[in-house]
Amino acid sequence: MQPQNPDRDGRDKKDTRGAQRPPKPCSPSRPLSPSNRPKDFEGFIPPHGGYEHLLCYQKALVVYDGTRYFCDRFLEKRDRTYDQMVQAARSGKQNILEGSEASGTSKETEIKLTNVARASQKELLEDYRDFMRNRHITEWEPQHRYAQRLRRLNRTPGANYQTFRKGIEHPDPAICANVLVGLIKVTCYLLDQLLRRQERDFLNEGGLRERMTHARLAQRFRQNRTPPIP
């Protein structure tokens, strides 16, 4: 005969009304940001980083790798444009990383670096257009069948360099340049979206000084409510 459950027959049943349940652990499926951090977060340095999950960073990485290939193939290494294009592509990638890592202590720095990344992409875009104009290469219109194919590839989940390799490494410089121009345009669009989100986060969350003041006032309030030790 199995023993009866005390909770079922009323014996040894304890009144648990008003008892607090332990909070469930927070296990996010993606890096935390100021907009989705846990509600019980009490510090003034919010979770930050996670740049590798940003779509604009993933595209900027493809642009950088593609630009290295393009310059090695179509430009002389002693040409000043070679270094300028590679450095602009690197800046467009690295400043996204630096801004993401700096966001924990300075929203202003994060926004500035994101804007630097966007400016570097724009500079690189102009270098590609100079290359195409000097060689009488036409930039694809949005309705061009290759441009439409590129848009479909850009919507591929987890798209990386391998996704665009056939176009970037095509023997025709017109196709190679146009593919990279299209990727830069997408990267700039994504950076514009990121800047707008960062602006909203700043308006909603404030800067470091505001968070420090709020955290200190909250700590002082908790200390004042703590009963003295007998």
Q: Is residue 34 part of a domain?
A: no
Q: Is residue 11 part of a domain?
A: no
* Cβ(185)–Cβ(156) below 8 Å: no
- Please report, in tens digits, the pLDDT of each residue of the chain (230 residues total): 444 444 444 444 444 444 444 434 333 333 434 444 444 445 545 554 478 899 999 999 999 999 999 999 999 999 999 999 999 999 999 999 999 888 667 788 889 999 999 999 999 999 999 999 999 999 999 999 999 999 999 999 999 999 999 999 999 999 999 999 999 999 999 999 999 998 887 777 755 565 555 555 566 656 676 665 65
Q: Which amino acid is at 207?
A: G
The distance of Cα 174 from the centroid of its chain, to the nearest Å, equals 30
- The whole-angstrom separation of Cα 132 and Cα 137 is 5
Q: Is residue 87 part of a domain?
A: yes
The pLDDT of residue 41 is 45
The pLDDT of residue 80 is 93
Domain count, the chain: 1
* Cβ(108)–Cβ(116) below 8 Å: no
The pLDDT of residue 137 is 97
Q: Is residue 42 part of a domain?
A: no
Q: Is residue 15 part of a domain?
A: no
Give a three-class secondary structure readout of 9-43.
Answer: HCCCCCCCCCCCCCCCCCCCCCCCCCCCCCCCCCC
Q: Is residue 96 part of a domain?
A: yes
- The whole-angstrom separation of Cα 178 and Cα 168 is 9
**What domain range includes position 180?**
51-203
- The whole-angstrom separation of Cα 160 and Cα 135 is 28
Q: Is residue 221 part of a domain?
A: no
The pLDDT of residue 60 is 97
Q: Is residue 46 part of a domain?
A: no
Contacts (Cβ under 8 Å, ≥6 apart) of 164: 62, 66, 150, 153, 179, 183
